[in-house]
Chain A
Amino acid sequence: MEIEITQERLSKALNIVSRVAATTKTGLPILNNVLLRADGNQLSLTATNLELATVDYLAAKIQKSGTITVPAKLLAEFISNLPKNTTINLLAKDGKLVTTAGKYKSTINGIAADDFPELPRIEEKNAVTFKVESSSFHSAITEVIVTSSNDTTRPALTGVYFNTFEKSLYIAATDGYRLSEKKFIEDVTSDVFAVVPTSSLQEVLRSVSDDIDDIEMLFDETQVRFRMGEIEITSKLIDGSFPDYRQLIPKKTDINIELNKAEFTRMTKVAALFARESGGSVICETRADDKTFSISAVASELGENSSAMEANVDSDGKVVLNSRFLIDAIGAIDEDKLNFGFSGKLAPVVIRGAKDKDYTHIIMPLKS
C-alpha cells in the first residue's frame, strides 16, 4: 500500500476514528489498531470496539492499493503533530507503516489486516432509512440523552429508544426516575422500534462537524448505521424491550405554570446547595393567594433556603423533586419560558418549553 494525502484531512479523520480504538476491556491488541485500506481512489480508516465501528472514507492519491493496521492513538497523535499543509506519504511494507512528511519520518509496527475484525454488513435495501438535518439531530439527541441511564443491569435503559408512533419518529430515554421524549421526524413511512446505545449516540454527536448538512440513519434488526459526509458509524442495537413509556406521560396536569427559565434555574441551583443533605430533594410549591411559585430546601445542619417568583397560579400545590434532575431538565430546554405542570405529590411532573411542544421532560417526584 502506498498513498499520498494532506496532513489536515488525515489528521481530522484519525482523530475521529481513533477515539473508538482501545476501548475494549479485554485489550485484544488488534482492537487498539486502526485499519487503513487503500482501494481505487479512496483511503478508508476503520476502528471498532466490537459494539461500535467508525469508518472514515477519504479521497486520496493511491499509488498502490493494500491494507495494514497500526496502533490508532499513536498514528493519530503523530500525524496531528506534523506541520499543516504538508503532504504525507504512507507506505505499508513488511508489516510496518512508514510515514514520511517532509523531514519527518516514522516507522510504526503494524499487525496484518487479516486479524482485524470483520464488520457486520447492513443490507441497505432492507434497512429502514431516515434522513435528518444534522443540526436537528444534534439538538434532539442532546435533549434526550440527559435522561438515559448508565445502570448496566438494565440494558434497555442505557440507550435511546427510536420508535414510530402515529407516523412520526420519536426518540425517548429514561433512567426510571425521569424520562424525556422528542418528536424527532414527522411523516415517516416506515416503522422502527430500536434501542440505540447512548454511548454510540454520543460518539456520533462528537463526530458531527459543522460542515455536515444531513445525517442518514439506517436501521436493520440488530444494528444501526449513521452516515454523515465521509464518516460512517455503525452500532449494535441494545437487545431488550424498552418500557411502554408513553403511558407514563400525563395527558394533562392539574397545576400548570409558565416560568422564566433563567430565574427558575437560579432558584433551583440556590435551593440545591441546601439540599445536599437530603439527597438533593427540593420542595416546589405553588400558592394561589399570593400567586407565587417557590422552591425551598431544608438542611437541618446548615440552615435553609427558600426563593419565590411570581406565577399565574390558581391552586395550591406541592411536589418534592430531585434538584439535580430539575436542573438537567431546565438545562435541556432551549427556550426563555418553560411550562411546569404537576398534579399531586406523586404524579409525574411535566416540563416543556413554552413554544416547542415536541419535547417533553418528565420527572417522577420523590416521596416526601
Chain B
Amino acid sequence: MRNEWQSVLDEIGRNVSDMAFATYFSNLKLASNKNNILTIEVPNVFIKAQIEGKYNPVVIRALKTIGIKYDQIKLTESKTERKTTRRSIEVLPESKPTRKAETHTITSNRLVARDNGLNPKYRFDNYIVGSNNDLAVSAAHAIVEHPGERYNPYFIYGGPGLGKTHLIQAIGNELIKQNPNMKILYVTIEQFYHDFVEAMRKKLDGFTDKYRKLDVLIIDDFQFIVGKEKSQDEFFHTFNELHQKNKQIIVSSDRLPTQIATVDERLSSRLMMGVPIDIQLPDFEVRCAILKSKAELLGVDIENRAIEYLAENIKSNIRDLEGKLNQLLALSELRGVSPSDLIEDGYIEEAIYTKRRVVSPKQLIDKVAKYYNLPSKEILGKSRVKHIKSARQVVMYLLNEELNLSTVRIGTELSKDHSTVIHGIRKIKQDLKLDFSLREQIADLREKIYVS
C-alpha cells in the first residue's frame, strides 16, 4: 500500500508544479485504508483546505490512474489525539479544599432534592484495597448490602490523605446506584454546623427535616467538631433519632472520638458502638499498586523502577503519593526525559526531601515539647520523670526517622549519651507495635512537624 501511495504522490507531482507539490503535497501521508475509506494525514488545516478545494480533482485523478479503489476520502490534521482528557481522571481528589468548595455549593442551593453531596467519581472500583484498609472496605461492602444493620454507626478514622473520604462516598454512591430512592446525604461536619447555625439564625425548621428524615447520613471530617458544642448537641440528637430508626450513619475522622478533646462521653460512646475501624498507610506493595493503577488511568507508561522509587520514598499518605506521581509525569513530559532518568538526576529525590530540610532539630524539639505541654528545656534536661523521659524518646525517634540524624548527632543535640539515644529509639520502635495511642501521637506529631 505504501508503494502505491508513493506512486499516487508521484502522479500528483507530474500534474502540478514542483513548488506547489513541495508546498502542499510533500507532507501528505496515507494513514489508513480501511473499509474503502482512505484516510490521508495533512500537516494542518490550511493545507487541508487546499487539498479539499483546489487540488481535489488532481488527487482523485491520480488515485484513479494508479488504480486505488475507495468509496470515500478522509483528510485528517492529526495523528496524536488532541485535547487529552488526562486531567479529568483521578483516583483520588487532588486536594481537600476544592472538594469542600464543591460540597458547599451543592448544599447551598439545597432546594434541589437529589443533591446528596456525593461526588460520583468516588467509587469502589477505583478504590485500591490492601492490608491497610481491607477491614474497612469489607465492612463498607456489608453496609451496602444491609444498610443500618451490622456496622451502625460505621466509624472510620486515619490520617489525612489515606482515602477515608473516597471510601465513605463510595458507600453512598453504591447505595444510590442500588436504591435510587434512598435519601442519602454526605456533608462535612462543618457543613452540618453551618446548616445548623443558619437554621437557628433564620428560625427555619428545614434543618430537622433535612437531617432526621434521611436513610443514610454520611459525616466527613468529624474531628472539626472541636469547639462547636451547640452543634455537637444537635448532632447527638440527630444521631439518636436516626439510629433508633435503624438508619445508617457513617462517620469519618482523623482520630477516635475519645481522642477529640471536646467530644463528650455520651456522644463518643455512641460513635464507638459500632466497631471503629482504622485506615492505615498502605504498605509498599499497595503503594505500588496505587501508583500503577493511577498511571494506567492516565494512559502513561512509567518504568517499574520509578514506581518503586516513589512508593519507597513517599510514606506520608496517598494524596502525596499521587501528587508526586503527577508531578513526575508532568516534569517528564515537559523535559522530554523519562521518569526514571529524572529520578536518577535527583529531581524527585530533592523534592521529597526539601520538605524535611526546613525543619531544624530545634524546631522539632519545640514542636514535640509543645505537643506534650512541656517546656523545651525539660526535654533537653536530665529529668527522669516518666512522661518527660518518654517525650524525650519520641524526640530521639523523630530526629532519627524524620531528619535522618545519626544517633551520635542526636546525642549532641540532646546532650545525651549515644547509647541512651539508641536505647530510646529502640524503645519507641518497640512500643509502636503495641501501644496504640503512641502510634496516634507519632502520626499527629509527624503532621505537626511539617505543617509549619
Q: Do A and B bind each other?
A: yes
Which residues of chain A have a CB within 8 Å of any CB of chain B?
24, 26-29, 31, 48, 50-51, 53, 117-121, 154, 157, 166, 174, 176, 179, 193-194, 221-223, 236-237, 239-241, 243-248, 254, 315, 343-347, 367
When the two chains form their complex, are residues B19 and A244 in contact, meaning their CB atoms are under 8 A apart?
Answer: no
Partner of B50 from A51, A118, A166, A193 at Cβ < 8 Å: A118
B92 CB to closest chain A CB (Å) equals 14
Query: How many cross-chain pairs have Cβ atoms below 8 Å apart between A and B?
Result: 117
User: Which stretch in B77-85, B143-151, B264-272 binds the other chain?
Assistant: B77-85
- Answer yes or no: B206 CB below 8 A from chain A CBs: no
13 contacts between A and B (CB under 8 A): A24-B23, A28-B23, A50-B47, A117-B54, A120-B48, A154-B336, A222-B45, A240-B82, A241-B82, A243-B334, A245-B334, A344-B351, A346-B350
Closest residue of chain B to A252 (Cβ to Cβ) is B452
A364 CB to closest chain B CB (Å) equals 8
When the two chains form their complex, are residues B350 and A244 in contact, meaning their CB atoms are under 8 A apart?
Answer: no
A316 CB to closest chain B CB (Å) equals 10
Q: With A51-B46, A236-B44 known to touch, is A26 a contact of B82 (CB < 8 Å)?
A: no
When the two chains form their complex, are residues A26 and B354 in contact, meaning their CB atoms are under 8 A apart?
Answer: no
When the two chains form their complex, are residues B87 and A347 in contact, meaning their CB atoms are under 8 A apart?
Answer: no
- Answer yes or no: B49 CB below 8 A from chain A CBs: yes
Task: For A51, list chain B residues within 8 Å (CB).
Answer: 44, 46
Closest residue of chain B to A31 (Cβ to Cβ) is B23
A35 CB to closest chain B CB (Å) equals 14
When the two chains form their complex, are residues B330 and A245 in contact, meaning their CB atoms are under 8 A apart?
Answer: yes
When the two chains form their complex, are residues A118 and B334 in contact, meaning their CB atoms are under 8 A apart?
Answer: no
A347 CB to closest chain B CB (Å) equals 5
Chain B contact surface mostly? helix
When the two chains form their complex, are residues A50 and B46 in contact, meaning their CB atoms are under 8 A apart?
Answer: yes
When the two chains form their complex, are residues A248 and B350 in contact, meaning their CB atoms are under 8 A apart?
Answer: no
Task: For A53, list chain B residues within 8 Å (CB).
Answer: 46
Task: For A48, list chain B residues within 8 Å (CB).
Answer: 46
When the two chains form their complex, are residues A347 and B83 in contact, meaning their CB atoms are under 8 A apart?
Answer: no
Q: With A50-B46, A176-B334 known to touch, is A118 a contact of B54 (CB < 8 Å)?
A: yes
B123 CB to closest chain A CB (Å) equals 23
Closest residue of chain B to A50 (Cβ to Cβ) is B46
- Answer yes or no: B125 CB below 8 A from chain A CBs: no
When the two chains form their complex, are residues A315 and B358 in contact, meaning their CB atoms are under 8 A apart?
Answer: yes
When the two chains form their complex, are residues B19 and A27 in contact, meaning their CB atoms are under 8 A apart?
Answer: yes
Partner of A254 from B53, B82, B358 at Cβ < 8 Å: B358
User: How many angstroms between the C-alpha atoms of A168 and B430 in the bound complex?
Assistant: 52
Closest residue of chain B to A151 (Cβ to Cβ) is B336
Q: With A50-B44, A51-B44, A120-B46 known to touch, is A244 a contact of B77 (CB < 8 Å)?
A: no
When the two chains form their complex, are residues A193 and B83 in contact, meaning their CB atoms are under 8 A apart?
Answer: yes
Task: For B210, list chain A residues within 8 Å (CB).
Answer: none
A sample of 16 more A-B contacts (CB under 8 A), given A53-B46, A119-B46, A121-B49, is A26-B22, A31-B23, A50-B50, A51-B46, A118-B53, A222-B48, A239-B78, A241-B83, A243-B334, A245-B334, A246-B87, A247-B323, A247-B327, A254-B358, A343-B358, A367-B345
Q: With A28-B20, A51-B46, A118-B54 known to touch, is A347 a contact of B351 (CB < 8 Å)?
A: yes
User: How many angstroms between the C-alpha atoms of A246 and B98 in the bound complex?
Assistant: 15
Closest residue of chain A to B86 (Cβ to Cβ) is A244
Closest residue of chain A to B337 (Cβ to Cβ) is A176
Q: With A26-B23, A346-B351 known to touch, is A222 a contact of B77 (CB < 8 Å)?
A: yes
Q: Which of A26, A27, A315 has the most CB of B within 10 A?
A: A26
- Answer yes or no: B335 CB below 8 A from chain A CBs: yes
When the two chains form their complex, are residues B354 and A243 in contact, meaning their CB atoms are under 8 A apart?
Answer: no
When the two chains form their complex, are residues A367 and B346 in contact, meaning their CB atoms are under 8 A apart?
Answer: yes
Residues 342-367 of B, flagged 1 when their CB comes within 8 A of A and 0 if not, give 00011100110110011000000000
B303 CB to closest chain A CB (Å) equals 18
User: How many angstroms between the C-alpha atoms of A154 and B334 in the bound complex?
Assistant: 9
- Answer yes or no: B326 CB below 8 A from chain A CBs: yes
Task: For A166, list chain B residues within 8 Å (CB).
Answer: 98
- Answer yes or no: B331 CB below 8 A from chain A CBs: yes
Task: For B77, list chain A residues within 8 Å (CB).
Answer: 222, 239
User: How many angstroms between the C-alpha atoms of A28 and B54 in the bound complex?
Assistant: 15
Closest residue of chain B to A315 (Cβ to Cβ) is B358
User: How many angstroms between the C-alpha atoms of A119 and B53 in the bound complex?
Assistant: 10
Partner of A248 from B334, B345, B354, B358 at Cβ < 8 Å: B334
- Answer yes or no: B329 CB below 8 A from chain A CBs: yes
Chain B 283-338 interface residues, beta-carbon cutoff 8 Å to A: 323, 326-327, 329-331, 333-336
When the two chains form their complex, are residues A244 and B46 in contact, meaning their CB atoms are under 8 A apart?
Answer: no
Closest residue of chain B to A345 (Cβ to Cβ) is B350
User: How many angstroms between the C-alpha atoms of A89 and B335 in the bound complex?
Assistant: 56
Closest residue of chain B to A346 (Cβ to Cβ) is B350
Partner of A26 from B19, B334, B351 at Cβ < 8 Å: B19
Closest residue of chain B to A197 (Cβ to Cβ) is B44
User: How many angstroms between the C-alpha atoms of A236 and B48 in the bound complex?
Assistant: 11
Partner of B84 from A27, A174, A241 at Cβ < 8 Å: A241
Task: For B323, list chain A residues within 8 Å (CB).
Answer: 247
User: How many angstroms between the C-alpha atoms of A241 and B46 in the bound complex?
Assistant: 20
Q: With A236-B46, A248-B331 known to touch, is A28 a contact of B336 (CB < 8 Å)?
A: no
Q: Which of B20, B49, B81, B336 has the most CB of A within 10 A?
A: B49
User: How many angstroms between the C-alpha atoms of A118 and B55 in the bound complex?
Assistant: 10
Q: With A118-B50, A236-B44 known to touch, is A247 a contact of B326 (CB < 8 Å)?
A: yes
Task: For B347, list chain A residues within 8 Å (CB).
Answer: 346
Task: For B81, list chain A residues within 8 Å (CB).
Answer: 241
Task: For A154, list chain B residues within 8 Å (CB).
Answer: 336
A314 CB to closest chain B CB (Å) equals 10
When the two chains form their complex, are residues B357 and A344 in contact, meaning their CB atoms are under 8 A apart?
Answer: yes
Q: With A50-B44, A118-B50 known to touch, is A176 a contact of B335 (CB < 8 Å)?
A: yes
Q: With A236-B44, A244-B333 known to touch, is A346 a contact of B346 (CB < 8 Å)?
A: yes
A123 CB to closest chain B CB (Å) equals 12
When the two chains form their complex, are residues B327 and A248 in contact, meaning their CB atoms are under 8 A apart?
Answer: yes
Closest residue of chain A to B333 (Cβ to Cβ) is A243
When the two chains form their complex, are residues B46 and A239 in contact, meaning their CB atoms are under 8 A apart?
Answer: no
Q: With A247-B326, A247-B330 known to touch, is A239 a contact of B23 (CB < 8 Å)?
A: no
A319 CB to closest chain B CB (Å) equals 11
User: How many angstroms between the C-alpha atoms of A50 and B82 in the bound complex?
Assistant: 20
User: How many angstroms between the C-alpha atoms of A345 and B77 in the bound complex?
Assistant: 42
Task: For B350, list chain A residues within 8 Å (CB).
Answer: 344-347
Task: For B48, list chain A residues within 8 Å (CB).
Answer: 120, 222
Closest residue of chain B to A248 (Cβ to Cβ) is B330
Task: For A247, list chain B residues within 8 Å (CB).
Answer: 323, 326-327, 329-331
When the two chains form their complex, are residues A223 and B354 in contact, meaning their CB atoms are under 8 A apart?
Answer: no
User: How many angstroms between the C-alpha atoms of A246 and B94 in the bound complex?
Assistant: 12
Task: For B327, list chain A residues within 8 Å (CB).
Answer: 247-248
